[in-house]
Structure 1
Amino acid sequence: MNQARVTLTDVRDTPLSVDEVLTAVQDPAAGGIGLFVGVVRDHDNAKDVDGLEYSAHPSAVDGLRRVCEQVLSDEVSKVAAVHRVGSLQVGDLAVVVAVSAPHRGAALDACHRLIDDLKLTVPIWKHQSFADGSDEWVGL
């Protein structure tokens, strides 16, 4: 039953689609969808970001599925998560997660937990390049 409720998990090197993830969690019993879209911003730690590159361990898709399954409950209808790898520029979508539920509170709570757990446990790493020529690895 959980497999049918985790409708989309992927790590890809192509641009992400918010519409694809929203469609993946639609359910006639759901009255709300919690959505998080992570976007590459133009700064981090007071430094201007030129771009970044995400890389992932081969187990990252399994890790995404695991965190999606962990947020499932009787109050959650469907869950989906996709993450980008490769070179990204400011404004590109890096991650899109969504959770549908009969009520907005459960959808929003589960979405918040999903993105937090994803960032903490899924083996995806960010290498940022800054305008001053420095760089930084995040998530190692």
Structure 2
Amino acid sequence: MKKLQIFDKALPVEEITNAWYDEFKNSNYGAIITFVGVVRNENEIDGLSFDLYEPILTSWFNSWQEKAKAKNAIVLMAHSTGDVLNHESSYIAAVCSPKRRVALEMIDEFVEDFKAQAPIWKYDIINGKRVYAQDRSTKISGAGILK
């Protein structure tokens, strides 16, 4: 099973989380902590739309696998590309660890770092059009225009 999964449109939450549970429940992990991000109905948007750059995302995710491995844990992630309507999921993350404290701390760190560092661009969907959500975007470290 791939630990990083990319889906077109909204995530099939139950399918993903059940597959992760089925895959890892017999691996002697005492904790499988899951975070499911849901698109909120706010600011008169119909949903969100996402673009991502998979090579940098994969590199970022692999660095988290190394951090997790040092603590005898693993991280899992699924994310959407394209349009995701209100009340649907665009992001799921999980940490599996023998110890609950490791999993609880790591899921918090992972989700926060994802928001700050992952190469994913978010757009509001307003009246069927994608509008870049610049006010809710974070500049990726080292990003910029090459001269």
Q: Is the 8 A contact 2:5 2:78 kept in 1?
A: yes
Q: What is the letter of the counterpart of residue 126 of structure 1?
A: K
- Aligned partner of 1:100 in structure 2 is 96
Q: CA deviation at 1:95?
A: 0.7
Pairing of 1:1-140 with structure 2 (within 5 A): 8-14=3-9, 15-16=11-12, 17-43=16-42, 47-130=43-126, 135-137=131-133, 138-139=136-137
Q: Is the 8 A contact 1:128 1:136 kept in 2?
A: yes
Q: What is the rounded CA distance, in whole Å, between the counterparts of 1:38 and 1:67 in structure 2?
A: 22
Q: Is the 8 A contact 2:123 2:130 kept in 1?
A: no
Gaps of 5+ in 2: 140-147
Q: Is the 8 A contact 1:77 1:100 kept in 2?
A: yes
Q: What is the rounded CA distance, in whole Å, between the counterparts of 1:88 and 1:115 in structure 2?
A: 19
Structure (1/2) with the larger strand percentage: 1
TM-score with structure 1 length normalisation?
0.76
1:23-65, CA deviations, whole angstroms, 9 ceiling, x for partnerless residues?
Answer: 454453211112111111111xxx2321110111242541452
SS state at 1:19 partner: helix
Q: Is the 8 A contact 1:76 1:107 kept in 2?
A: no
Gaps of 5+ in 1: 1-5
Q: What is the rounded CA distance, in whole Å, between the counterparts of 1:50 and 1:30 in structure 2?
A: 39
Q: What is the rounded CA distance, in whole Å, between the counterparts of 1:64 and 1:22 in structure 2?
A: 24
Q: Is the 8 A contact 1:54 1:125 kept in 2?
A: yes
Size of the aligned set, in residue pairs, is 131
